[in-house]
Amino acid sequence: MARIAVTDGMAPDAVVLLERAGHEVVLDFIEEDALLDGALSDFDAIIVRSATKLPQEIIEKSGDRLKVIGRAGVGVDNIDIHAAAQAGIPVVNAPRASTQSVIELTVGHLLSCLRHIPRADRGMRQDKWEKKAMKGTELSGKNLGLIGFGRIAQGVGSIAQLFGMEVHTYDPYLPAKVAKVQNTTLHKKVDTLFQTCTHISIHCNFNDETHHLVNAERIALMPGKSPDGIPCGNHIVNCARGGIIDEVALLEALESGKVASAALDVFEVEPVPAGNKLIQHPHFHGTPHIGAATLEAQARVGRDIAHAVMAVLDGKEADTTVNSHLLK
């Protein structure tokens, strides 16, 4: 039976699932130095979240025993999937398990922006009753621009429509019929999305193409007024990946008032270094990358990744293998 390293924690039921199948589970964070010294050569599988980084140098030191890398979550930007494929190691993830939780966090951030919930709470903790300063706007009647239109964005879009928002999307990989079925306007150019929408939410992967896709030039295009003339200001939410927004440009836009509010769950550098000025801005609020941090999502993530890892250990191909196209 296999020896499986679980380095960033996992739901207890998933650990039981692996152990009941006869596998030995070692639940312990492994420091980078130990990984570089070949700590993975003692394991048949490793399951990580985002804290453990598996770049080429570490994968090359893993030896012949390692048969599968599991990412308990969606994003695999902490794993060099090409190096893994070179070493003949499938990388599997759990892409569907956290969808609902991320949808709900995104909508929470959007509502918190427009009704100043974090700012009002900060004031109350200082015994302030800032009723007049907390006039917000409704979601109803505003244009929401979704960058990327996968499962999470489609869920956010459906809820936004229930609130009376008009939903626009930019996703160069989306078949036009999906946008039509979802009753959204598909933009061919990301710039027209920014020109049309006062509210932007990000739902794409981070890669060379999306690095700083939200920058000063694009923020400058945002209209600040809804189609019916309400001066609702511009609002930006990101619960996808850090690095898609240029955080320097976002801070400048908050300082100038071009962006009325911003809420991020993900950052260019995580954990965010102390003294970061964006975090301190009164019209900013953030969460420490908690999109998938619900009991329900973590139970599903654990179960899905345990099944995917066991499938590979059984000599089968898991349907969530992210580097199957690279494996020889």
Active-site positions read 241, 270, 289
Q: Using CB under 6 A, which of 222, 245, 292, 306 touches ligand MLT?
A: 292
Q: Using CB under 6 A, which of 40, 74, 214, 262 touches ligand MLT?
A: 74
The burial of 180, by beta-carbon neighbours within 10 Å (0-12 exposed, 13-18 middle, 19 or more buried), is given as: exposed
| DSSP result, 146-175 | EES-SHHHHHHHHHHHHTTPEEEEE-TTS-
Q: Distance between CA atoms of 301 and 96, rounded to whole angstroms?
A: 8
| Pick 68 or 152: Cβ nearer ligand MLT | 152
Q: Is 302 in the site for ligand MLT (CB under 6 A)?
A: no
Q: Which residue has the closest beta carbon to ligand MLT? A: 73
Q: Is 291 in the site for ligand MLT (CB under 6 A)?
A: yes
Q: Which stretch binds ligand MLT (CB under 6 A): 72-80, 116-124, 255-263, 273-281?
A: 72-80
Q: What is the size of the binding site for ligand MLT (CB under 6 A)? A: 8
Q: Is 7 in the site for ligand MLT (CB under 6 A)?
A: no
Under 8 Å between Cβ of 310 and 92: no
Q: Is 75 in the site for ligand MLT (CB under 6 A)?
A: yes
| Pick 187 or 241: Cβ nearer ligand MLT | 241
Q: Which stretch binds ligand MLT (CB under 6 A): 58-66, 67-75, 103-111, 197-205?
A: 67-75
| Pick 183 or 207: Cβ nearer ligand MLT | 207
Under 8 Å between Cβ of 187 and 170: yes
Residues in a beta bridge with 261:
235
CB of 96 to ligand MLT, least distance (A): 11
Q: Is 261 in the site for ligand MLT (CB under 6 A)?
A: no
At 55, list the tokens: 């770049």
Under 8 Å between Cβ of 297 and 100: yes
CB of 47 to ligand MLT, least distance (A): 12
| Pick 194 or 267: Cβ nearer ligand MLT | 267
Under 8 Å between Cβ of 169 and 157: yes
Q: Is 73 in the site for ligand MLT (CB under 6 A)?
A: yes
| Pick 92 or 222: Cβ nearer ligand MLT | 92
Any idea what DSSP says for residue 85? Answer: H
Binding mask 97-136 toward ligand MLT (x if CB under 6 A, else -) reads: -x--------------------------------------
Of residues 181 through 240, those in contact with ligand MLT by CB under 6 A are none
Q: Is 286 in the site for ligand MLT (CB under 6 A)?
A: no
| Pick 10 or 292: Cβ nearer ligand MLT | 292
170 phi/psi in degrees, rounded to 5: -125, 120
Q: Which stretch binds ligand MLT (CB under 6 A): 21-29, 73-81, 127-135, 315-323?
A: 73-81
Q: What end-to-end distance do the CA atoms of the chain give, in Å?
A: 25
Under 8 Å between Cβ of 270 and 242: yes
Alpha helices in the chain (DSSP H): 12-20, 32-36, 56-60, 81-86, 99-114, 117-125, 151-162, 176-181, 190-196, 216-221, 247-256, 277-280, 295-313
From the list 140, 147, 152, 51, the residue with the least C-alpha distance to 105 is: 152
Applying CB under 6 A, the residues found at the interface with ligand MLT are 49-50, 73-75, 98, 291-292
